[in-house]
């Protein structure tokens, strides 16, 4: 076929081509009643994987039924994309669709219940990029579609640890429906309602006090009242009830017109470990919480706000730490805002979903009796607990000169005086700039462990340093004395930038998820991210979210305040936070496989599927992810 | 100031900066009631010129009052941008604002009436680019704001020819308000209404037939009915009326909290000519109308649809022609769908707003008695009319080979047999490819008039041929024998492309408006555009608008079917159509100025203000446009 466009400067005078056959639409004429037309004539519905960034310009694909695989204690997600073919609403939107979802049921009668294990969220663009996942009502959600725009619904299935393995089937039912404005004819408007009220009031006045009235007058009054009542009852206000059968149930009719999307989920017997194998510690700025939610540091509301954030984040298999930045990147980090002896601290720190926790070097909420011997007392209490093995001290973010390195040494010495087995974590991407450890930057960077030892146990380095030189990893690891319980962790923040894996807004979905693939392939045993709520300053919970100047969009932000999108106080996850979770789950799959077949086979599966070969060589497509997971399911299920 | 971001790979741990002072927001806490908070704490409101493309990411600017200048019979436009500072709705939107607009009044009591002379439209993105202008209800409009997104309202003022000159002042009042969902508490929901209905029904049944009943029973029944009625009246359904004063009027309260934007319009004594000085003939595909609106060629509905389009487009000071493409770019073009002798043809063709009209070479709606001697008869009738001077024949779009050139010659000969003074228009960008008129393309292109003469009077060339070589214009003009009533017109379509002026989606506002500046500067006496409604094929009026494949987005589309955006059948203009109109109005200003001070001074004003110096050198900013118009107002008003 030759394009129907003639001449370089000529107009395309003929129709072009269309992805979608037009035959189906031929029955539509004039104003469209969605209750009488198959929804498939009104909307496109199709599925997209969780690694797709589905924006308003996403073009429709054929509707195919979905098969997913999930272990127990795993969350698996997918997206349902919807785009109007026509407008049927008569108002500014193209129309409204209703999305229903059934429970997912197995043949043996086990269930994954909608609203509990199955949740739907609306994918909302941030700076024009699909990112925020705003919860929508279940089991029936109404979505407003705009002309010429694709809307995406994020579907997550959380498989409980105790869920019996097997195949679970369910269905999404998408039905084009009338808009609120049109439905409003079913409601009484205010002036109409006032009219009804006045009539009833007159009626009531007539018959209120009849005791002792002459019979004739009573009869007269009652007849008048009956006439009024009859008029009200037969008025258009109540016309939908004349049949006296109550509101007609249209669900059955609707159902025949709906688009049905079958979902089949295979739950396998593997249970992801409750405590994630790889600690991913993620900073939550307490300053941002204090400013935005107007809670005073140390107040009851402040503890509540921190607890809400802590518990909400645990579902993402990450280990939150709260932090406050001081001068020169000195940081106060703490996973529990309470002192060690407080029962709440035990509750927080012993939570089995927490893989690591930060111990504050100085009191989080200063008070007279706390300050004295604070550190020694805290450490003594914590060392007596079984969760002490999860503890670490994070004292300084990216020391850059000798003075800053000395501060770390000084603080670490004190900590190790009280607890020789304490783990001090230091993030860095270079040696001190004012006393170079080596003639070139990378050599100097490599010498930091020797320079800091024994004042740091967790050497946490920027992935940015490695660039695309994966071979440098062995040089870094060579400096870490794992036999002395030293660990190598990594982090990402402003860098590395595209095309390397990171969590910036606008990167591909697999690029977000690959952050964790990279960690696993490089062999780090932990991961740090500096901030999940580091918006620009605001003093109102629902204030517009602004990213901080000078940072790539999305850097330091993995979730949003719920108040921006609805009246809910629950934080709103980003797509990127979901992909962080998916990446951590991928690590559990790879660990399981490696525990059976060896790490080399684990690395081979990354290569064989084409999922991840290096920081510039990983899949942009979702398929290799499903291949990796499917292969591990097949080889490890028995 | 040094950015608060440390280290190349470091995180931006401190707050950045903010354009907007935060002090104003300090009073907001917890859930926000827009009826108690100044709207300026909830939304940014600011003005933008009509040449700005205000998308969702547009950042706020200070609110400044607006002064506009307009001649009589001119439309002048501006935009009001609104962006939520916080969310206050509790639903998926950030909140709703109400926009009211007063009439614009002069001291002497003359008015420009809102809804008639002053209209508001919602700027709706197409493919993510602000383009469609969807009418909104006046005098009070409600706009739904999304978190983190700027919404723009397009304000147009049409000054009638008879409007007394002077200064007209008015005000836009923007008020944050509650959402429909919140207002819905004022309404009776369906199940609640059913409850009321059942109670009243029981009540009525009790007192309906009391004739002949014993008094005791009547009293009993009436008391029961009164109790029921009392319960209904005191139920929450009617709680807002307990005071019996009816719905409280909150308008006064609201007004104090509103944001007020003053608009001052200077209307000057110049009256733009009713018939535009420069004929801009614009193609309307009848095929698209037939397919999309399901009207059969030649049916009564078809004539209605064409008439609706014709009349709606006249407000844009353009001269529509309908067209149907045949093979090899043969076109059937016609401004009136009726035969010449039909009274409707006279109505269409003598409309003083029409600057030029296309006469069909063959019958538009074939019928037995029409076909014979059709052309001769039509021409005889039209030649007898005073509007004949506006007539032209457009027979072929961009002939490319000798056979196509010969077809034009053949048809033109026949036309000139019947009407030696008929104008035949031919669009072209090259000579015949199979018989080169010269060794190089541009030379061959220049020789087309010599090759076609006397079979074409309007030589209509693509601006694409000129590129940025404005100096080539004199070579083109040198070939045109204006003394023999030959004319040089131009056109744009796929080309020229960015950075040259054209009407593609995604180009700058001044780039759209500059299409007409270019025409005026180059000295063409007319302009052609191939299509204003050339969407991809659809058979439903409200079907999604798709641009044709192979064309730059927006090419061939200057307006949209209203049905896509609302229940209205009125077409929806694009920003680009408004800028075409503005450009045509600019030409009237420049012509007025040149008529007083000479064309060289007219060209000098373009240069002096920096508005337009050439196809790659024109303003991206709006100011030079206001300077040009202001200068012409000052020098020509007396």
pLDDT tens digit sequence for B292-309 = 999 999 999 999 999 999
A123 and A54 housed in the same domain: yes
Q: Least CA distance to A536: which residue of chain B?
A: B15
Nearest C-alpha neighbor of B129 from the set B28, B59, B200, B56: B56
The radius of gyration of chain A's CA atoms, rounded to the nearest angstrom, is: 31
| B476 pLDDT above the threshold of 90 | yes
- Comparing B550 with A593, the larger pLDDT belongs to A593
* Averaged pLDDT of chain B: 90
Task: Say whether both B195 and B117 belong to one domain.
Answer: no
- CA–CA min distance A247, chain B (Å): 8
Question: B167 and B57 in one domain?
Answer: yes
Give the pLDDT score at A218. Answer: 83
What's the pLDDT score for residue A196?
A: 78
Query: Residue A144 sits in a domain of what CATH number?
Result: 2.60.40.10
Q: How far apart are CA B599 and CA B525, in angstroms?
A: 14
Q: Where are the alpha helices (DSSP H) in B421-508?
A: 441-446, 448-452, 463-466, 472-478
Determine the pLDDT at residue B245: 44
In a domain, A109, yes or no: yes
pLDDT in tens, B332-342: 999 999 999 99
Same-domain pairing of B203 and B130: no
Q: Tens of pLDDT along B591-621?
A: 999 999 999 999 999 999 999 999 999 999 9
Answer whether B6 sits within 8 Å of A126, measured CB to CB: no
Longest dimension (CA), chain B: 115
Distance CA B496, CA B504 (A): 10
Spell A526-546 as b/e; 16+ CB within 10 A means b. Answer: bbbbbbbbbbbbbbbbbbbbb
Please give the model's pTM, rounded to 2 decimal places.
0.86
Domain count, chain B: 2
Residue A548: closest C-alpha in chain B: B16
B263, B115: one domain = yes
Report yes or no on B12 lying in a domain.
Answer: no
| A-B C-beta contacts closer than 8 Å | 350
In a domain, A215, yes or no: yes
- Residue B540 burial (C-beta neighbours within 10 Å; 0-12, 13-18, 19+): buried
How far the first Cα of chain B sits from its last, in Å, is 52
Residue written as tokens 């960008």? Answer: B429
Which whole number is the average pLDDT over A418-425?
97
Query: Chain-centre distance of CA A621, in angstroms?
Result: 21
β pairing state of A280-285 and A526-529:
parallel
C-beta of residue A572 within 8 angstroms of C-beta of residue A134: yes
Let me know whether A115 and A261 are in one domain.
yes
Between A139 and B314, name the one with better pLDDT: B314
Domain that holds residue A221: 190-236
Report CB contact under 8 Å: B398, A88. no
Q: Which residues in chain B touch residue A211, judged by CB atoms under 8 angstroms apart?
A: 219
SS3 A60: coil
Read off the tokens for A543. 């204030």
Distance CA B539, CA A23 (A): 9
Among A189-198, A586-595, B197-206, name the most confident range: A586-595
Both B94 and B208 in one domain: the answer is no
Q: What is the pLDDT of residue A32?
A: 82
CA A460, chain centre distance (Å): 26
Look at residue A13 in the predicted model and tell me its pLDDT. Answer: 62
Q: What pLDDT, on the 0 to 100 scale, is given for residue B235?
A: 74
Task: Out of A566-570, B41-45, B344-348, B500-504, pick the least confident.
Answer: A566-570
User: Do A125 and A230 have their domain in common?
Assistant: no
**Pick from B88, B190, B549: CB nearest A17:** B549
Q: What is the pLDDT of residue A27?
A: 63
With respect to residue A147, please indicate whether it lies within any of the assigned structural domains.
yes
B562-596 burial string, b = 16+ CB within 10 Å, else e? bbbbbeeeebbbbbbbbbbbbbbbbbbbbbbbbee
Does residue B194 belong to any structural domain of this protein?
yes
Cβ neighbours, 10 Å, residue B476 = 22
Q: Verify whether the Cβ–Cβ distance A241 to B550 is below 8 Å.
A: no
- pLDDT value for B367: 81
Residue of A11, A180, A321 for testing the chain B interface, max B β-carbons within 10 Å = A11
Out of B193, B203, B219, name the one closest to residue A210 (CB): B219
Residue A184 has pLDDT above 70, yes or no: no
Chain B residues in contact with A134 (beta carbon < 8 A): 92
Query: Is residue B225 one of the residues assigned to a domain?
Result: yes
CB < 8 Å to A555, chain B: 11-12
| The pairing of beta strand B95-101 with beta strand B559-560 | unpaired
Express each pLDDT in A256-301 by its tens digit.
799 999 999 999 999 999 999 999 999 999 999 999 999 999 999 9
pLDDT on residue B18? 46
Q: What is the pLDDT of residues B224-253, one digit of tens each?
A: 888 888 877 777 677 656 554 443 444 444
Q: Are residues B158 and B45 in the same domain?
A: yes
Average pLDDT for A368-392: 91
For the beta carbon of residue A495, count every other beta carbon within 10 angstroms: 20
Q: Cα(B66)–Cα(B63) distance, rounded to whole angstroms?
A: 9
What is the reported pLDDT for A155? 97
Chain A nearest C-alpha distance from B26 (Å): 6
Residue A214 pLDDT greater than 60, yes or no: yes
Note whether residue B632 is domain-resident. Answer: no
- Residue of B1, B6, B13, B399 to mutate, interface with A, max A Cβ within 10 Å: B13
Which chain A residue lies closest to B181 (C-alpha atoms)? A180
Are both A222 and A127 inside the same structural domain?
A: no
Average pLDDT score, chain A = 90
Same domain, A118 and A159: yes
| Residue % of chain B over a pLDDT of 90 | 76
Q: How far is B13 from chain A (nearest CA, A)?
A: 7
Contacts of B574 in chain A (CB under 8 A): none
**Please, which pLDDT band fits residue A393 given cuts at 50, 70 and 90?**
very high
pLDDT over 60 at A245, yes or no: no
Other Cβ atoms closer than 10 A to A435? 11
Task: Report the C-alpha gap between B531 and B254 in whole angstroms.
Answer: 46
In three-state secondary structure terms, A29 is coil
Which among B369, B398, B554, B535 is positioned nearest to B462, based on CA atoms?
A: B398
* Highest-confidence segment of A106-110, A136-140, B203-207: A106-110
Asked whether the predicted pLDDT for residue A138 surpasses 50, the reply is: yes
B143 and B158 share a domain?
A: yes
Between B55 and A249, the higher pLDDT residue? B55
Question: Is the CA virtual torsion A419, A421, A423, A424 positive or negative?
Answer: positive
Q: Which of A7, A85, A531 sits opposite B544 (nearest CB)?
A: A85
**Is B179 inside any structural domain?**
yes
Instruction: Grade residue B182 by pLDDT with cuts at 50, 70 and 90.
Output: low
């Amino acid at each position: 076929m030759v394009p129907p466009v003639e001449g370089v400067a000529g107009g395309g005078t003929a129709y072009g081509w269309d992805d979608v056959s037009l035959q189906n639409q031929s029955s539509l004429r004039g104003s469209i009643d969605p209750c009488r037309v198959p929804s498939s004539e009104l909307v496109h519905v199709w599925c997209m994987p969780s690694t797709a960034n589905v924006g308003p310009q996403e073009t429709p694909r054929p509707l195919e039924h979905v098969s997913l695989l999930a272990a127990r204690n795993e969350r698996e997600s997918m997206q349902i994309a919807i785009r109007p073919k026509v407008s049927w609403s008569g108002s500014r939107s193209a129309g409204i669709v209703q999305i229903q979802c059934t429970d997912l049921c197995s043949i043996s009668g086990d269930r994954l219940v909608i609203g509990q294990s199955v949740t739907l969220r609306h994918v909302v663009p941030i700076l024009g990029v699909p990112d925020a996942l705003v919860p929508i009502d279940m089991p029936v959600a109404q979505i407003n579609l705009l002309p010429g725009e694709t809307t995406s619904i994020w579907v997550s299935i959380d498989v409980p640890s105790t869920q019996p393995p097997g195949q679970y089937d369910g269905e999404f039912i998408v039905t084009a429906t009338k808009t609120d404005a049109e439905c409003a004819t079913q409601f009484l408007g205010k002036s109409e309602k006032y009219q009804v009220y006045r009539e009833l009031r007159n009626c009531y006045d007539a018959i209120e006090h009849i005791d002792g009235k002459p019979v004739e007058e009573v009869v007269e009054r009652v007849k008048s009242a009956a006439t009024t009542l009859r008029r009200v009852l037969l008025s258009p206000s109540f016309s939908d009830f004349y049949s006296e059968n109550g509101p007609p149930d249209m669900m059955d009719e609707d159902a025949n017109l709906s688009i049905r999307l079958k979902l089949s989920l295979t739950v396998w017997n593997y249970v992801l470990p409750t405590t994630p194998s790889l600690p991913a510690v993620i900073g939550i700025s307490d300053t941002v919480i204090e400013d935005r939610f107007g809670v005073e540091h140390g107040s009851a509301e402040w503890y509540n706000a921190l607890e809400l954030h802590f518990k909400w984040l645990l579902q993402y298999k990450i280990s939150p730490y709260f932090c406050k930045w001081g001068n020169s990147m000195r940081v106060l980090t703490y996973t529990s805002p309470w002192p060690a002896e407080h029962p709440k601290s035990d509750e927080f720190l012993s939570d089995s979903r927490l893989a690591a926790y930060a111990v504050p070097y100085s009191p989080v909420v200063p008070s007279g009796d706390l300050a004295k011997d604070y550190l020694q007392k805290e450490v003594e209490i914590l060392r007596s607990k079984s969760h002490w093995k999860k503890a670490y001290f994070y004292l300084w973010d990216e020391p850059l000169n000798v003075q800053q390195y000395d501060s770390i040494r000084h603080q670490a010495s004190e900590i190790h005086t009280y607890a020789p087995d304490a783990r001090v974590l230091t993030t860095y991407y270079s040696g001190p700039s004012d006393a170079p450890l080596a003639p070139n930057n990378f050599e100097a960077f490599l010498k930091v462990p020797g320079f800091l030892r024994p004042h740091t146990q967790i050497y946490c380095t920027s992935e940015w340093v490695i660039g695309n030189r994966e071979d440098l990893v062995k040089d870094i690891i060579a400096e870490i004395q794992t036999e002395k319980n030293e660990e190598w962790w990594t982090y990402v923040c402003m860098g590395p930038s595209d095309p390397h894996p990171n969590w910036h807004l606008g990167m591909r979905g697999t690029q977000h998820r690959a952050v964790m693939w990279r960690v696993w392939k490089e062999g780090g045993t932990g991961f740090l991210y500096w901030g999940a709520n580091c918006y620009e300053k605001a003093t109102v919970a629902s204030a517009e979210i602004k990213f901080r100047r000078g940072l790539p969009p999305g850097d330091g932000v993995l979730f949003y305040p719920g108040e921006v999108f609805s009246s809910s106080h629950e934080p709103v996850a980003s797509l990127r936070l979901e992909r962080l979770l998916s990446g951590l789950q991928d690590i559990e799959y790879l660990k399981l496989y490696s525990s059976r077949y060896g790490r080399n086979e684990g690395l081979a599966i990354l290569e064989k599927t084409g999922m991840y070969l290096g920081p510039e060589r990983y899949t942009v497509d979702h398929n290799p992810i499903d291949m990796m997971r499917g292969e591990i399911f097949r080889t490890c299920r028995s």
